[in-house]
Amino acid sequence: MKIGKIDEAAFRALILRKLGRKDPTVLVPPRTGVDAGVVDLGGGRVLVVAEDPVFTMPRLPLEMFGWFTVHIGASDVAVMGVKPRYMTYTLLLPPETGRKDIKTLVDSIHRAARGLGIAIVGGHTGFYPGFQAPTIGGITVFAVARKGEYVTPAGARPGDDILLTKGPAIETAGLLAVLREEELLERHPAALVGKAKALTYQVSVVKDALTAMAAGGVTAMHDATEGGVMGGLFEIASASGVGMEVDESLFVYPEEVRMVCETFAIDPVRAIAEGSLLITARPSSSARIIARLRTKKIEGSVIGKVTANRRRRILRRLDGKIERLAVPEQDPFWPAFFEGLERV
């Protein structure tokens, strides 16, 4: 049984043609790999809007869960090149949830939203049987921008450089280091395991995306979530109708990411990578984008080129093997995650 986001074939068959009333003001409708929708408001302005569910896991502090909630939602607007401004969220709680835990969670969401300059304008909170832990049924983040001053994953052009921030599998390494810490400590130094756990606070691309956009020259951005960098690259290439030639040896590769992925036999380029931002940009802008990112303490690198041949979408692996870009049938994070749950 597949775990995680619905695959492209099922999305096309079950969802894509069932989008309610057709409306000419919808400029960017739902598409595979496109992080947010865009609606024409008239007067030269557009509404950019995105939604996500968020669930917690054992050993993940409620403060961190609240931070995730805001940053995961905000990232999907930021990758459109637009600063997130408003949000709503639905908080679904097990009936036995105590007042202290609710306060901790709501306070952390408030602080994270305030830190990003986001106003919370609505939502829903309630107690419901059937939930094992607090769950965000949906966080909706939106912003208003000028028409023409946003990007989508469909904007990559032949000749563009492809950039990656932070490296692959950021979310995978951070979450598994929290969930399966004891197993990692049996084989690796505590300091390195601590670095891996700290990646949980890099599971956001808001700063990455807004910094890159401000530097100029960006043609497309995409958050490498389920399916990892491999899936994210494929989605940009498909949305843009282009080819790609990418070299894994050019990636930033944190040692803590390598450690977690090697321990649990996970291919890092295929594993969920919220926090890893893919950018396509004009070659004349790449060095400036990377320099601006470094001023924000975000490492990034040019990892390949966009090409005109849409049939050639390839990744050269560290061992020299050539693989075709594709969305993995199953993200390797999930089996490792559920195995960890069984040990808790």
- Bridge partner residues of 125 (DSSP): 91
CA–CA gap between residue 205 and residue 200 (Å, rounded): 12
Residue 16, pLDDT score: 85
Q: Where are the alpha helices (DSSP H) in the chain?
A: 8-14, 62-78, 99-115, 170-179, 181-185, 190-198, 206-215, 228-240, 255-263, 283-295, 333-343
Domain spanning 22-146 has what CATH number? 3.30.1330.10
- CB contact at 8 A, 244 and 293: no
Residue 15, pLDDT score: 87
Q: What are the domain boundaries of the chain? A: 22-146, 161-343
Read off φ and ψ for residue 250, nearest 5 degrees: -90, -5
The structural architecture, per CATH, of the domain 161-343 is Alpha-Beta Complex (3.90)
List the pLDDT tens digit at each of the 344 positions of the chain: 667 777 788 888 888 889 999 999 999 998 888 889 999 999 999 999 999 999 888 888 999 999 999 999 999 999 999 999 999 999 999 999 999 999 999 999 999 999 999 999 999 999 999 998 999 999 999 999 999 999 999 999 999 999 999 999 999 999 999 999 999 999 999 999 999 999 999 999 999 999 999 999 999 999 999 899 999 999 999 999 999 999 999 999 999 999 999 999 999 999 999 999 999 999 999 999 999 999 999 999 999 999 999 999 999 999 999 999 999 988 999 999 999 988 87
Residue 238, pLDDT score: 94
- CB contact at 8 A, 318 and 168: no
CA–CA gap between residue 296 and residue 13 (Å, rounded): 42
Residue 1, pLDDT score: 60
CA–CA gap between residue 293 and residue 289 (Å, rounded): 6
Of 36, 315, 64, 87, give the one whose Cα is nearest residue 201: 64
CA–CA gap between residue 6 and residue 19 (Å, rounded): 16
CA–CA gap between residue 297 and residue 169 (Å, rounded): 18
